[in-house]
Structure 1
């Protein structure tokens, strides 16, 4: 599978709330350097999977809308908006945040991520 296809499959599906599905996309040595509106966070595989658990407790649905995706060799850049539905209000879809991430793919897995986000 091409790096762009791996990233598309990760973001196009609704797996961000499923820890087992997310783990299948992650390289064992995955890291994410995340600059958010709350500051800098560096995450490893366990941190990412713990975040997935937290998201699944708060949201019943997650939807990613990709506006841009660019790939070159094993690097893929994605700009997207993340929408969710809460447990408290499952009928209303709300914009969680806007994201831009650059992924390095290694061994057909997400290996190094460099992400920026801004809450809506």
Structure 2
């Protein structure tokens, strides 16, 4: 049984890729491309770029938890909206919201292949905290 786009997307963003970048092989196509619009600007990332970024994240984060509010799919494409919460090496007793994401990914050969992602730093505005609108997937 093949994994759906929705299952792959949820799996990637809930995985511990920051502790073990080899986890990415389970979700991302070797030729994956990520087109990322962030508050710092635009970047196009390859599989290797994503893997290297994951390794760097693992040096600072003790934990990374995603709170998914939206997860939808149609055919070979899935979209997700989430907030990441982290505990850092410097402050292991406090979990803080770090970033909001919206992403769409297309599949190729049963793996996530081409992604379009938008992110911005998280905030404490109660209207932006997604726990109350969490959608069961």
Residue matched to 2:27:
25
Structure 1 CA distance for aligned equivalents of residues 85 and 19 of structure 2: 12
Q: Is the 8 A contact 2:17 2:54 kept in 1?
A: no
Aligned to 1:99: 101
Flag structure 2 segments of 5+ consecutive residues without an equivalent.
Answer: 123-137
Give me the CA root mean square deviation: 1.1
**1:68 shift after superposition:** 0.4
Q: What TM-score comes out, normalization by structure 1 length? A: 0.94
Q: Whose Rg is larger?
A: 2
Paired position in structure 2 for 1:13: 15
For structure 1, list consecutive stretches of 5 or more residues without a partner in the other structure: none
* Match in the other structure for 2:45: 43
Higher strand share: 1
2:89 aligns with 87
Q: TM-score, normalised by structure 2?
A: 0.83
